Each structure stands twice: as structure tokens, then as C-alpha cells.
């Protein structure tokens, strides 16, 4: 009985790992995470009022106005020093198409008058969608 063996080099295993599919998947995941990261990342510390509310996604064109405990007004993170410059920025936002929503983050310790001035300025500028940002009851807040 004669047994013949074929060349063993043909049956050798490939010892290299092809990393191209792994890199492709990782790049796709990185892009997805970059897109889904929340757009608004505020640095003005305010204690928001606690109120039951509906969770709503922030859009990229949403204007965020904050009122701190001392009544200071902020356009995103930049301090707005007078009512005229706030009114001017709101008019520019109202002229954009589509018109962005304005979200007001009023500190629970702030006077109502400071928040009301922002609300009145937004209405006078012609902003159609105005909302208030609150914390749900029982949420842990900064400064508690």
C-alpha cells in the first residue's frame, strides 16, 4: 500500500490577522458617536427649577439662554451685558430659516423679573417656539 503526501506548504495556516474590517467598523462607530453626542454642553452653573416634564431632544439650531442666580443673562456660554444686545441677537435668530427654538434655563434662585425680561425679549423679537429647561423632581443638581 503506497501513501503519498502532498506538499505541506499548501496546507499551512495563514498566521496574519486582517485588521481592515476591524478598522472599518471602528471608524463607523466613531462617526456614529460623534454625531450622537449632545450638542449643548453648558458651562454656566444654574440650579434649575424642579418640574415634571417631557424629555425632548435638543436640536443643533436651538438657542440656549441662561439666567443665573444673580440675574445675569448668557447666550449659550457668553455673557450678554445689556437688553439691547440680547434683543439684537434674538432678532437675528428670528430671521433664520427655519427659525430656531429658544430654550430658557432660569436658575430657581433667580428673580422672576430676570427670566421674564428674557421671555419678553424673545416674544418681541418674533420667536415662535420658546421653552423652559427644568429638572425632573428628585434629580440631583449642582450645588445641592
Give 19-56 pLDDT, tens digit per residue: 888 889 999 988 877 777 655 555 667 776 666 655 55
Q: Which residue's entry shows cell 427655519?
A: 98
Whether the link from the prior residue into 98 is cis, omega within 30° of 0, is: yes
In whole angstroms, what is the distance from residue 52 CA to residue 136 CA?
A: 5
Strands 78-80 and 102-106: unpaired
CA of 74: how far to CAs of 41, 52, 53, in Å? 13, 25, 23
pTM of the model: 0.57
Residue 142 has pLDDT above 60, yes or no: no
pLDDT given at position 126? 92
Can you read off the three cell numbers belonging to residue 73? 443673562
Question: Beta strand pairing status for 130-132 and 102-106?
Answer: parallel
End-to-end CA distance of the chain: give it in Å, rounded: 89
Q: In 3-state terms, what secondary structure has residue 28? A: helix
Per CATH, which fold does 63-132 belong to?
Nucleotidyltransferase; domain 5 (3.30.420)
Domain parsing of the chain, residue ranges: 63-132
Task: Enter the C-alpha cell of residue 60.
Answer: 443643533
Amino acid at each position: 500500500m503506497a501513501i503519498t503526501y502532498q506538499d505541506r506548504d499548501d496546507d499551512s495556516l495563514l498566521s496574519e490577522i486582517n485588521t481592515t474590517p476591524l478598522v472599518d467598523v471602528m471608524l463607523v462607530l466613531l462617526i456614529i458617536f460623534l454625531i450622537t453626542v449632545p450638542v449643548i454642553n453648558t458651562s454656566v452653573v444654574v440650579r434649575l427649577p424642579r418640574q415634571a416634564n417631557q424629555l425632548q431632544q435638543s436640536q443643533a439650531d436651538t438657542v440656549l439662554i441662561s439666567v443665573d442666580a444673580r440675574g445675569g443673562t448668557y447666550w449659550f456660554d457668553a455673557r450678554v451685558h445689556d437688553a439691547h444686545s440680547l434683543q439684537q441677537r434674538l432678532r437675528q435668530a428670528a430671521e433664520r430659516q427655519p427659525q430656531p427654538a429658544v430654550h430658557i434655563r432660569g436658575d430657581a434662585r433667580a428673580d422672576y423679573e430676570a427670566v421674564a425680561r428674557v421671555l419678553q425679549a424673545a416674544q418681541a423679537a418674533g420667536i415662535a417656539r420658546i421653552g423652559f429647561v427644568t429638572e425632573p423632581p428628585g434629580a440631583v443638581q449642582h450645588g445641592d
